[in-house]
Amino acid sequence: MKALVLEEKGKLSLRDFNLPRDIGPHDVRIKIHTVGICGSDVHYYTHGKIGPFVVTEPMVLGHEASGDVLEVGAEVAHLKPGDRVCMEPGIPDANSRASKLGIYNVDPAVRFWATPPVHGCLTPEVVHPAAYTFKLPDNVSFAEGAMVEPFAIGMQAAVRARIVPGDVAVVTGAGPIGMMVALAALAGGCARVIISDFSQPKLDIIGNYPGIQTVNLGQTDLPSFVASVTGDWGADVVFECSGAAPAILGLPGLARPGGTIVLVGMPVDPVPVDIVGLQAREVRIETVFRYANVYDRAIELIASGKVDLKPLISDTLSFENAIVAFDRAVAQRPEDVKIQIRVNS
């Protein structure tokens, strides 16, 4: 079966690739419909590694997927052939200590699609555990289903923040994840979200949503702006989504006394942190790594219409054009948020 294979750093090919096709009693076989391209897929393509994860042999890319169930294992009760689904790409060890605690996202044994040495889902068919496969309501499209994975990070950030109704939030960084976090924060009860970036096209896209104010960092000083719109008090919750060192150093200047900071962005290298600035406000710090137990809630919010991710899908290319789609994602056009690949239609 054909797959989009990262042969080595900088080299993609669309070619036949052997993946395990055996279906266990708790698995489902899925015909892949749509796969979104993630920043991590692009990073493996351009750098051949992310932190300790290094591509040493050919690896199939892709982890943001939706599709149709083709076949279910003998013990699967909640899905049947023909169901439209999306998949959670990280599979933990069900017997691990982390899984028992409900924090399976930080299980050291988790196997995550398109993270070496685990293959991804940019191929017409995959076998996946039913427990990590979620039925899509009729009014949620395959394209939206493939957006559940990045939106789940926003959901995790909103959960970790412990948002209280009416909170005012700041999101630093308007990349795809910053946008997802802003929308999840609003859906999770924030009254309004202030989002900052240097890229005006990105701010224009996310600023179209009601409840979101944008700040262009090239023109406006973010701490002064936040102070001016919060009565010199600060934001209840600050979501750091840029991973940029200056943004992280400036976090204490955005949060209110007793507020919360959620670290979502991942700096490539260790960065300085203003500990005393944080202490002086007794800020609570939370961190986010992927997500756990939020897929069903993410799907509910999309189906209810409270979260509309469709404006964030910038373009959809065919499977035959998968390499073109990746090169488009590498180009990082400022007006592109999410590029998707339609594998089967």
Count, residues near Zn ion per rule CB under 5 A: 2
| Rounded least distance, CB 338 to Zn ion, Å | 9
For Zn ion, which stretch binds (CB under 5 A), given 10-18, 34-42, 271-279, 288-296? 34-42
The angle subtended at Cα 93 by Cα 103 and Cα 67, nearest 5°, is 90
Question: 132 near 105, Cβ under 8 Å?
Answer: no
340/280 Cα distance (integer angstroms): 45
167/243 Cα distance (integer angstroms): 23
Structure tokens at 169: 């939030």
| Rounded least distance, CB 154 to Zn ion, Å | 12
Question: 31 near 67, Cβ under 8 Å?
Answer: yes
**Number of CB atoms found within 10 A of residue 303's CB:** 15
Strands 212-216 and 192-197: parallel
Instruction: Give yes or no for residue 255 binding Zn ion (CB under 5 A).
Output: no
Pick between residue 72 and residue 309 the one whose CB is nearest to Zn ion.
309
159/185 Cα distance (integer angstroms): 9
Task: Give the H or E element holding residue 100.
Answer: helix 97-100
Pick between residue 38 and residue 155 the one whose CB is nearest to Zn ion.
38
Instruction: Give yes or no for residue 222 binding Zn ion (CB under 5 A).
Output: no
| Rounded least distance, CB 103 to Zn ion, Å | 19
| Rounded least distance, CB 206 to Zn ion, Å | 18
Amino acid in position 226: V
Instruction: Give yes or no for residue 153 binding Zn ion (CB under 5 A).
Output: no
Whether the CA torsion 238, 37, 303, 294 is positive or negative: it is negative
Residue 299 class from Cβ within 10 Å (0-12 exposed, 13-18 middle, 19+ buried)?
buried
Pick between residue 5 and residue 38 the one whose CB is nearest to Zn ion.
38
| 46-105: contacts with Zn ion (CB under 5 A) | 64
Instruction: Give yes or no for residue 114 binding Zn ion (CB under 5 A).
Output: no
| Rounded least distance, CB 89 to Zn ion, Å | 8
Pick between residue 120 and residue 250 the one whose CB is nearest to Zn ion.
120
Pick between residue 60 and residue 76 the one whose CB is nearest to Zn ion.
60
| Rounded least distance, CB 327 to Zn ion, Å | 18
Pick between residue 50 and residue 317 the one whose CB is nearest to Zn ion.
50
Instruction: Give yes or no for residue 38 binding Zn ion (CB under 5 A).
Output: yes
Q: Which chain residues interact with Zn ion by CB under 5 A?
A: 38, 64
